[in-house]
Amino acid sequence: MCSWITEKATISGHGKGVADWLPLTTANVYYDHPASAPLDHALIIDFVNEAAGPGARVSVELSAQSAQDLLRAIQAALATGQAQHDLTN
């Protein structure tokens, strides 16, 4: 679409990366005790490729408010014409 339109959300949390791009097959989403973020509970998303082993994981641990703000940003990005076109085709 080449619009440069970007939705931003201010967030609080921790993220875990990997050295290079990784094919992902599953997102595990849960609200529980984080491993790293300084929170008692966090909305955690593990993007994984199980076939590649436990280290093949991109993870985010977000405060509940951050997760809601991120959700709104994702929904706003998906409300664009191109995304709606892709979702219905």
Residues at the interface with other proteins (CB under 8 A): 16, 26, 28, 30, 32-36, 38-40, 46, 48, 50, 53-55, 57, 59
Amino acid at position 16, single letter: K
Beta carbon nearer to other proteins, 31 or 79: 31
Beta carbon nearer to other proteins, 56 or 73: 56
| Run of H or E residues at 37 | none
Beta carbon nearer to other proteins, 7 or 46: 46
In the complex, least distance from residue 43 CB atom to other proteins, rounded to whole angstroms: 14
Q: How far apart are CA 87 and CA 89, in angstroms?
A: 6
In the complex, least distance from residue 64 CB atom to other proteins, rounded to whole angstroms: 13
Q: Classify the C-alpha dihedral 34-37-40-42 as positive or negative.
A: negative
Q: What does the DSSP 8-state code read for residue 77?
A: H
Residue 75 backbone dihedrals phi, psi, to 5 degrees: -65, -40
In the complex, least distance from residue 50 CB atom to other proteins, rounded to whole angstroms: 7
